[in-house]
């Protein structure tokens, strides 16, 4: 026992101070994309096709991009955060920033347009905050994904992130849960299991969709073996995009939902 205590003393405090301060993020992190419409200003209509400004649309593997008045609109619910659109954009109008804040309450809020404000998730209403604000128990359901999102969901329980200090924890039974945290596109074989799990949670309850698969089907969106995300089966209260989302993105979304972060934080 003395050796364990001495080891802990040598290691020091390991938990990140977030949300008090932002931890160092990797330089190669691809966060929220930025669309510079000024670079698209002189390329519209027929000229967009002539000048190759439709290449970002064509290269996107999940049809997450469409052109609106000559400028790209990016649906983060479909986006895999790959660099393909950034690489082929002739005027360099698309750039992936290091911005980790991505979670939204409404599906339509996940769409990024140049010059438009990105609407981050707002907190629950007063009554739900009274129920869940101090303690939130989530049943994690892996509904047919690649396990990438599940890994970043689970890492929040480690000493570095310490999800429990915010009153949030994962539980083994839906009977003990306040809501579902869903990863994966919801395969046909998982539909009934997801419905049963959702029905087993006592009301009121929450549903959180984590990752592109759980929001829209992700890279599997054209496959008949999947249903196109959690909202095809159950109502979703919080969307956290990414493929997979960084642990900080997931944590940020959960804290916003519980009103533990300001909307401008």
Which pair of tokens denotes residue 219? 């890279």
- Section 222-244 average pLDDT: 97
| Rounded Cα distance, 199 and 219, in Å | 28
Q: Are 165 and 15 in contact (CB under 8 A)?
A: yes
pTM of the shown model = 0.91
- Which pLDDT tens digit goes with each residue over 53-66? 788 999 999 999 99
Pull the structure tokens for residue 160. 């570095």
Kindly list the structural domains of the chain, giving each domain's residue range(s) and its CATH number in brackets, ordered by start: 33-99 (3.30.70.20), 126-257 (3.40.50.12280)
b/e burial code for range 161-173 (CB count within 10 A of at least 16 → b): bebeebebebeee
Q: What are the residues whose beta carbons fall under 8 Å from the beta carbon of 174, sequence distance 6 or more?
A: 139, 180, 197, 198, 200, 201
**For position 6, what pLDDT does the model report?**
78
**What is d(CA 91, CA 197) in angstroms, rounded to the nearest whole number?**
48
- Average pLDDT taken over every residue of the chain: 91
**Banded model confidence at residue 50, pLDDT cuts 50, 70, 90:** very low
Q: Does residue 110 contact residue 258 with C-beta atoms inside 8 Å?
A: no
Longest dimension (CA), the chain: 74
Q: What is the pLDDT of residue 142?
A: 97
Residues 82-139: pLDDT tens digits?
999 999 988 889 999 999 999 999 999 999 998 789 999 999 999 999 999 999 999 9
The pLDDT assigned to 10 comes to: 78
- Most confident range, picked from 38-47, 51-60, 163-172: 163-172
Q: Mean pLDDT, to the nearest integer, of 176-189?
A: 98
Strand partners, 72: 67
The mean pLDDT of 211-239, rounded to a whole number, is 97
pLDDT at 49: 45
pLDDT (mean) for 3-20: 81
């Amino acid at each position: 026992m003395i050796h364990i205590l001495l080891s802990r003393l040598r290691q020091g405090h390991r938990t990140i101070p977030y949300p008090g301060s932002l931890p160092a993020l990797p330089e190669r992190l691809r966060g929220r994309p930025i669309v510079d419409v000024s670079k698209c200003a002189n390329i519209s209509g027929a000229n967009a096709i002539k000048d190759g400004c439709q290449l970002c649309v064509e290269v996107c593997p999940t049809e997450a991009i469409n052109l609106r008045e000559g400028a790209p609109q990016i649906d983060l619910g479909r986006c895999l955060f790959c660099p393909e659109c950034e690489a082929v954009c002739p005027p360099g109008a698309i750039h992936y920033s290091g911005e980790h804040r991505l979670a939204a309450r409404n599906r339509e809020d996940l769409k990024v347009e140049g010059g438009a404000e990105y609407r981050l998730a707002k907190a629950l209403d007063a009554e739900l905050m009274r129920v869940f604000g101090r303690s939130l128990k989530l049943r994690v359901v892996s509904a047919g994904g690649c396990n990438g999102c599940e890994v970043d969901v689970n890492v929040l329980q480690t000493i570095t992130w310490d999800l429990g200090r915010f009153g949030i924890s994962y539980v083994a039974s839906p009977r003990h849960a306040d809501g579902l945290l869903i990863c994966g596109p919801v395969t046909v074989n998982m539909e009934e299991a997801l419905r049963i799990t959702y029905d087993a949670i006592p009301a009121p309850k929450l549903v959180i969709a984590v990752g592109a698969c759980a929001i829209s089907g992700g890279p599997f969106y054209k496959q008949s073996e999947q249903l196109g995300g959690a909202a095809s089966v159950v109502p979703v209260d919080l969307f956290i995009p990414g493929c997979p989302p960084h642990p900080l993105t997931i944590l940020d979304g959960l804290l916003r939902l519980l009103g533990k972060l300001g909307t401008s934080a």
